[in-house]
Amino acid sequence: MADHLDAHCIVRFEVECNTQWGDKVAVLGAGPLGGWDINQALHLHAVEFPVWVAETTLTGTAELEYKYVIVRELDDKRLSIVQWEHQDKNRLVKISGIQKLRIQEHFGEPDKSSIHTVLASNKSMT
């Protein structure tokens, strides 16, 4: 369960993920990352395939709990989850006291993560 705070954090998600034509990647998670509702998920955009990117400002949380999913838009415009990441545990990232966060990851490979932060005091930390 995530702790709640008044501070905000700018978070940039970058994930390497090969998809089929027409499929997209989204971040789905607890609280501000959609409350595990696919219709509220944060959708990423392919900027240099296969890297997908999205940036958002999050408030009211000290921790991110999430997974990446591959989604497809159906004929009636609803979204369908094509594939969840297969690891047993959700990804967790602490954001308390962080002003900016850049998360670089690989779909389905949580051990290949790189997280870069800027603390609220404007000190950079990796």
| pLDDT reading at 15 higher than 60 | yes
Name residue 38's amino acid.
I
Beta-bridged to residue 98, according to DSSP, are: 119
* Model pLDDT for residues 83-96, shown as the tens digit of each residue: 999 888 999 998 88
Beta-bridged to residue 14, according to DSSP, are: 53, 104
Locate the domains of the chain by residue range.
8-125
> What CATH number does the domain located at 8-125 have?
2.60.40.10
More confident residue, 91 or 8: 91
For residue 121, the model assigns a pLDDT of 61
- Give the helix, strand, coil percentages of the chain, each rounded to 5: 5, 60, 35
Confidence of residue 5 (pLDDT cuts 50, 70, 90): very low
* Model pLDDT for residues 96-124, shown as the tens digit of each residue: 888 999 999 999 998 888 889 887 765 44
Distance set, CA 68 to CA 19, 40, 55, 85 (Å): 12, 13, 14, 6
Backbone angles phi, psi at 38, to 5 degrees: -55, -30
Nearest to 37 by CA among 2, 69, 85, 74: 69
pTM: 0.85
Distance set, CA 121 to CA 1, 8, 94, 96, 105 (Å): 26, 13, 16, 12, 26
For residue 125, the model assigns a pLDDT of 45
Are 29 and 64 contacting, i.e. CB atoms less than 8 angstroms apart?
A: yes
